[in-house]
Amino acid sequence: MIGDEIFINSGREVIFDQNRVIISPTFQLNKSWSISATWHGQLASGSIVGNFTYTNVLGFQIRHYLNYSYNK
């Protein structure tokens, strides 16, 4: 998955609030299991005009899909 979210604050003025970029390749191991590594970068405006904060987050996910179907 690749994504980009742009947030705009619309009050009295329309201003840039934050931008998030997400990259998350997922590897399907079999029908029930997948793993992914996710990088999330965020540029956010601060309380002072023109002051921005940049953060990086790296996460790992393990997913297990359960099959609740009943077949006779």
- Give me the domains of the chain, ranges plus CATH numbers: 2-64 (2.20.25)
* Confidence at residue 21, expressed as pLDDT on a 0 to 100 scale: 96
* Confidence at residue 62, expressed as pLDDT on a 0 to 100 scale: 97
User: Token digits for 25?
Assistant: 């390749």
Per-residue pLDDT of the chain (72 residues; tens, 9 = 90+): 899 999 888 877 767 889 999 999 999 999 999 999 999 999 998 877 778 899 999 999 999 999 888 776
* Confidence at residue 40, expressed as pLDDT on a 0 to 100 scale: 94
* Confidence at residue 14, expressed as pLDDT on a 0 to 100 scale: 65
Backbone φ and ψ of 21, nearest 5°: -115, 130
Q: Alpha carbon of 35 to those of 21, 23, 38, 59, 60: distances in Å? A: 20, 14, 10, 11, 7
Distance, CA of 61 to chain centre: 12
